[in-house]
């Protein structure tokens, strides 16, 4: 800035762009929505309806529905673009939107068929589980009687015979079937491991909070993080756990869908549990543009016909591929690609590879971008099975095209997410103040106005607001504070750089 008055207002100077240096703006991104039309048949219709009813970005419904599909068919399908490459179809996704964006409602409506299917299966298995528990108690009681008898036996041969009988009975103890469970909202690493084992290696995690990320990062274990099952759960890596009375060995296939506030993604970059081990690179990040402030509140309710059709199709997939508590398939279905679909995917792979170079678009998130081609295959697999089930095992050109379009959009969102993880608190506060300045159609504001505007935000605290204002001044976005003594009460005034575009949100 070339000139800056300290004790008096020089309106012509401050109103003249030549009196200012160019503003150094923040990296503002306008992430594109992920259209519901990329989902096949009833899934796309339901995503469109849900987004319209809630006046939320379609990306929220699209990615949540992909998570539902992942829960239904994980471990049952793999996608193979070439010999030796078997890509699973389960996904992790973090969808970030500010409060009041109906995240909970969308999550609840998308997962409702999972909840209903669980209840139906519980009714079918409840009697069998009760019978197994009763038999187990009886067997344990018999074993305990034999144990007491063996302890009292005087004859060594009789005692040895009883010990052998106890061993045989313990080996044949009835294994109690676990109640069917498709997904949970929260769990410790220990309980998550047990649940995944009980459910045959598959489990979903759906939540409208980021609490499970805090738990896995060591919130309730004195800061000791245990994210091994999170790392292995993306592709069925082997997990070995030693318990007091037994050892567990499993190959987990997890699905994770978390609809959270943007601060959760920002804070993940500060968690040692998630840095340096590839955890951050396993998520598909979605940061759609909120519609808050532009909603009409006059949208019609969900179409019962479309919602019922969504429920029915999801239930079909669950009935065919659930396999809760047991293995219905000795090996997964292998999905291949048509020649055109394969060629398109390889072109995408080449484009991504070029952008991984030092000056490329993904140089700041190479680890994540290095996985997006595999994630594109997973999305293609989910789209294919949603439409065709196991009737056809070749992914079509159209399905792959839609998957690649989704992956391309997710790549744009990921660059925003990883940029957000690197933002410090003062920068984030300054961006909040900057948005308020841009939303006004005025070239100046007082200290009292900015304090009033920020009073319900954490940055309303004097020390945080002062740092944010100083950063805006250093970026040539606002003037230094101007102290007015000509008014009845001393007033501090700021001017905004006239090169800025006003009235924008």
Q: DSSP letters of 295-342?
A: --S-PPPPPHHHHHHHHHHHHHHHHHH--TTS-S-SS-EEEEE-HHHH
83-138: pLDDT as tens digits: 999 999 999 999 999 999 999 999 999 999 999 999 999 888 878 878 888 888 89
Cβ atoms of 423 and 489 closer than 8 Å: no
Does the global pTM surpass 0.85?
A: no
Q: How far is CA 88 from the centre of its chain?
A: 17
Report angle CA 33, 36, 42 to the nearest 5 degrees. Answer: 170
What's the pLDDT score for residue 71?
Answer: 97
% of the chain surpassing 70 pLDDT: 90
pLDDT tens digits for 341-364? 999 999 999 999 999 998 888 988
Does residue 10 have a pLDDT over 60? no
**488: confidence class by pLDDT, cuts 50, 70, 90:** confident
Percent of the chain with pLDDT over 90: 56
Q: Given this model, what pLDDT does residue 208 score? A: 92
pLDDT band, residue 456 (cuts 50/70/90): confident
CB 38 within 8 A of CB 61: no
Please report which confidence band the pLDDT of residue 24 belongs to, taking 50, 70 and 90 as the band edges.
confident
Q: In what order do the strands lie in the sheet with 491-495?
A: 444-446, 491-495, 482-484
Among 172-176, 246-250, 303-307, 360-364, name the most confident range. Answer: 303-307
Q: Record the tokens describing residue 454, joined without a space.
A: 């920020």
Given a cut of 60, is residue 223 above it in pLDDT? Answer: no
Average pLDDT of the residues of the chain: 88
In order of their start, the domains of the chain are: 11-27+424-495 (1.10.10), 41-103+253-421 (3.40.50)
Lowest mean pLDDT among 52-66, 187-201, 280-294, 301-315: 187-201
User: Each residue of 71-83: pLDDT tens digit?
Assistant: 999 999 999 999 9
Q: Does the pLDDT at position 243 exceed 90?
A: no
Cβ partners under 8 Å of residue 417, min gap 6: 94, 96, 265, 285, 287
Indicate the pLDDT class of residue 322, thresholds 50, 70 and 90.
confident
- Model confidence at 398: pLDDT above 90: yes
Answer whether residue 27 shows pLDDT above 70. no
Residues 367 and 274: beta-carbon distance below 8 Å: no
Residue 1: its pLDDT value, please?
Answer: 44
Band of residue 325 on the pLDDT scale cut at 50, 70, 90: very low
> Is the confidence at residue 42, as pLDDT, over 90?
yes
With a cut of 60, say whether residue 327 has pLDDT above it. no
């Amino acid at each position: 800035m070339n000139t800056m008055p300290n004790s008096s207002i020089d309106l012509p100077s401050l109103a003249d762009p030549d009196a200012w240096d160019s503003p150094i703006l923040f990296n503002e991104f306008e992430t594109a929505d992920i259209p519901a039309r990329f989902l096949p048949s009833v899934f796309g219709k339901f995503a469109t309806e849900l987004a319209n009813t809630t006046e939320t970005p379609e990306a929220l419904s699209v990615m949540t529905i992909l998570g539902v599909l992942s829960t239904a068919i994980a471990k049952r399908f793999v996608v193979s673009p070439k010999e030796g490459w078997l890509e699973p179809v389960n996904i992790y996704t973090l969808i970030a939107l500010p409060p009041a964006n109906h995240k909970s409602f969308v999550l609840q409506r998308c997962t409702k068929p999972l909840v209903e299917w669980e209840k139906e299966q519980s009714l079918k298995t409840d009697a069998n589980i009760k019978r197994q528990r009763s038999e187990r108690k009886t067997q344990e009681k018999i074993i305990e009687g034999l144990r007491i008898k063996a302890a009292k036996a005087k004859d060594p041969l009789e005692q040895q015979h009883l010990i052998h009988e106890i061993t045989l009975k313990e080996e044949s103890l009835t294994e109690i079937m676990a109640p069917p469970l498709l997904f949970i909202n929260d769990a410790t690493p220990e309980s998550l491991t047990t649940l995944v084992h009980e459910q045959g290696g598959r489990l979903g995690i759906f939540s409208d909070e980021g609490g499970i990320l805090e738990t896995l990062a060591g919130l309730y274990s004195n800061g000791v993080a245990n994210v091994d099952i999170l790392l292995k759960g993306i592709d069925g890596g082997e997990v070995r756990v030693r318990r007091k009375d037994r050892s567990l060995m499993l190959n987990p296939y997890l699905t994770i869908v978390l609809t959270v506030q943007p601060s959760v993604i920002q804070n993940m970059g500060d968690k040692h549990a998630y840095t340096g081990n590839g955890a951050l690179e396993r998520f598909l990040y979605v940061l759609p543009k909120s519609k808050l402030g532009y909603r009409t509140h006059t949208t019609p309710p969900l179409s019962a016909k479309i919602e019922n059709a969504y429920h029915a199709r999801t239930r079909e997939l669950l009935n065919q591929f659930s396999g809760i508590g047991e293995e219905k398939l000795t090996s997964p279905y292998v999905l291949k690609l048509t020649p055109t679909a394969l060629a398109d995917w390889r072109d995408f792979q080449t484009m991504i590879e070029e952008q991984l170079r030092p000056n490329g678009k993904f140089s700041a998130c190479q680890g994540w971008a290095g996985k997006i081609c595999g994630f594109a295959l997973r999305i293609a697999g989910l789209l294919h099975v949603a439409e065709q089930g196991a009737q056809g095992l070749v992914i079509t050109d159209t399905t792959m095209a839609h998957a690649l379009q989704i992956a391309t959009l997710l790549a744009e969102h990921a660059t925003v997410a990883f940029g957000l993880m690197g933002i410090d608190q003062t920068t984030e506060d300054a961006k909040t103040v900057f948005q308020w300045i841009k939303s006004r159609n005025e070239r100046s504001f007082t200290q009292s106005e900015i304090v009033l505007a920020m009073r319900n935000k954490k940055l309303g605290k004097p020390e945080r607001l002062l740092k944010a204002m100083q950063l805006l001044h250093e970026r040539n976005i606002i003037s230094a504070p101007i102290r007015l003594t000509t008014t009845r009460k001393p007033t501090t005034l700021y001017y905004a750089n006239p090169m800025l575009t006003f009235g924008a949100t």
